[in-house]
Amino acid sequence: MVIKEIKTKSVLTKSNLPVSDYSVNPYIGCSHACKYCYAAFMKRFTGHTEQWGDFLDVKLWDDIKDPRKYDGKELFLGSVTDPYNPQEKTYRRTRCLLEQLQGSQVKLTIQTKSDLVLRDIDLIRAYPNARVGFSVNTLDEKFKDDMDKAVSIERRISAMKTLYKAGIRTTCFISPIFPGITEIPEIIDKVKDICNLIWLENLNLRGSYKTTIMEYIREKRPDLYPLYDEIYRKQNRLYWEQLNDQIRAYAAEIGLEYVLNDNSMTKPFDAPPTIVNFFYHEKIKKSAKKGTVKNA
């Protein structure tokens, strides 16, 4: 890993994403090195020549003097990095930010693949209706290890349970869904009693990692290669349309609400989770391509 500290004017960036007012990324790059990571596009803006996953810039910023100016704003921690990558244990930039924003009424969302977030329960629970999302796109630890260097799925789900039991809203982000691999009903069954929201996002293949994933499927899962060729080379959406119908039927069977493109968390804490389908969320994809544009 190539790690360096960099000075930045602000760690809060005004966001074009419909899910937040500000994107917050205490790091540039991510040592989880997910093979499917859309955030690898950031290299076009940062000038890094290293492979995605082999570098990490640690952001240093001036103390936030007036956190109340962000009252009522939605802050999304981890749009193009994991705020709880392993190096956070040493550099503590995410914890520093959470400390600096104490006393404000920000609407805080954290997205991670790490149970290191448990270290900061004391700070997170001070934010009204804060929520923590965990990416879980398989229950197969071997496939997980093939795709990323983050902690095990078992540890992620255990952390989700701990936060939920502590009264902090949690989201299970089933993303990206790998056709023929991601066990959606099984994941839902495992988390439906320890989370407030279940998001679904399809695997989008573009940029340099499209070849990486297609070659992985060709080598490791040749039985699925025709399906991936149909979806990602011939651009056939039939698989996702059928999967949408299947999940909708499954949600009805187990008594969970199933909706499209809804980011709300308005239900009572102890209500059953809503399943939200983010397939073909073009607005989010278009905004993400623009990168970060303006500091707060």
DSSP for 248-288, written as a single string: HHHHHHHT--EEES-----S-TTSPPEEEE-TT-HHHHHHH
| Cα–Cα distance for residue pair 7/88, rounded to 1 Å | 17
Residues 106-122 have pLDDT tens digits of 999 999 999 999 999 99
Asked whether residue 24 carries a pLDDT value surpassing 50, the answer given is: yes
Which alpha helices (H) appear in 128-261, and where do they start and end? 141-147, 153-165, 184-191, 209-220, 225-232, 238-254
Asked whether residue 287 carries a pLDDT value surpassing 70, the answer given is: no
Instruction: Name the token pair of 287.
Output: 């905004």
Asked whether residue 285 carries a pLDDT value surpassing 80, the answer given is: no
Q: Which domains does the chain have, with CATH numbers?
A: 2-295 (3.80.30.30)
Residues 201-213 have pLDDT tens digits of 999 998 888 999 9
Lowest mean pLDDT of 10-19, 25-34, 80-89, 196-205, name the range: 10-19
3-class SS of residue 121: helix
| Cα–Cα distance for residue pair 187/173, rounded to 1 Å | 10
Asked if 283 and 18 count as a contact pair (C-beta separation under 8 A), the reply is yes
CB under 8 Å to 249, separation ≥6 — which residues? none
Asked whether residue 214 carries a pLDDT value surpassing 80, the answer given is: yes
pLDDT band, residue 100 (cuts 50/70/90): very high
Asked whether residue 292 carries a pLDDT value surpassing 80, the answer given is: no
The mean of the pLDDT values for the chain is 91
Provide the residue type at 290 as one letter: K
Q: What are phi and psi of 192, to 5 degrees?
A: -65, -20
Asked whether residue 99 carries a pLDDT value surpassing 50, the answer given is: yes
Provide the residue type at 37 as one letter: C
How high is the pLDDT of residue 39? 77
